[in-house]
Amino acid sequence: MAGERQARLGDRIRVILAERLEKGLRDPRLGFVTITDVRVTGDLQHASVFYTVYGTDEEREASAQALKSATGMLRSEVGKHLNVRLTPSLEFIPDALPENAGHIADLLREAQERDAAVAGLAAGAAYAGDADPYVKPREHDADDEA
């Protein structure tokens, strides 16, 4: 039951922050930010907000600074929309999802290239022994009976 309440509160915070960030902040450093997940502690006092930023490393760093600067204002915004006694503190954590996705895409491309190379080798390959190595029963010859 408590875990369900944490999850509901986390989802609500994610929606509030996403809507607020969609309107934009007055901070030019903030890039294209997506809130990917919000995890609330068991005592509902702290929320870890996971986010991604589309862009370069510099844009990601600038957005992290902008979110850090706006944390107090964003917490107030969350407090206005939540029906809880105490508004949880917010901690913005960059989500490694895009980097992992890029790494996985690289690995898949590499595997595909290796598969193509193996298929190329197999196409020109010949059997090391007979084409059909399984022993078959010999045909019954008339000579064998005599």
Domain contains 42: yes
Instruction: Tell me what the mean pLDDT of segment 28-44 comes to.
Output: 88
Q: Show the CA angle centred on residue 14, arms to residues 59 and 105, nearest 5°.
A: 50
Domain contains 28: yes
Number of compact structural domains in the chain: 1
The mean-pLDDT minimum among 15-19, 73-77, 112-116, 139-143 falls in 139-143
* Highest mean pLDDT: which range of 90-94, 113-117, 142-146: 90-94
Domain contains 18: yes
Query: Model-level pTM greater than 0.75?
Result: no
Read off the CATH number of the domain in which 38 is found. 3.30.300.20
d(CA 103, CA 89) in angstroms, rounded, equals 33
Mean pLDDT of the chain: 83
Q: What is the extent of the structural domain holding 49?
A: 2-96
Which pLDDT tens digit goes with each residue over 50-74? 998 888 888 889 999 999 999 999 9
Percentage above 70 pLDDT, the chain? 83
The pLDDT of residue 98: 58
Q: How confident is the model at residue 92 (pLDDT cuts 50, 70, 90)?
A: very high
Domain contains 146: no
Instruction: Tell me the torsion sign for CA atoms 128, 134, 135, 139.
Output: negative
Domain contains 136: no
For residues 78 and 45, the answer to whether their CB atoms sit within 8 Å is no
Domain contains 125: no
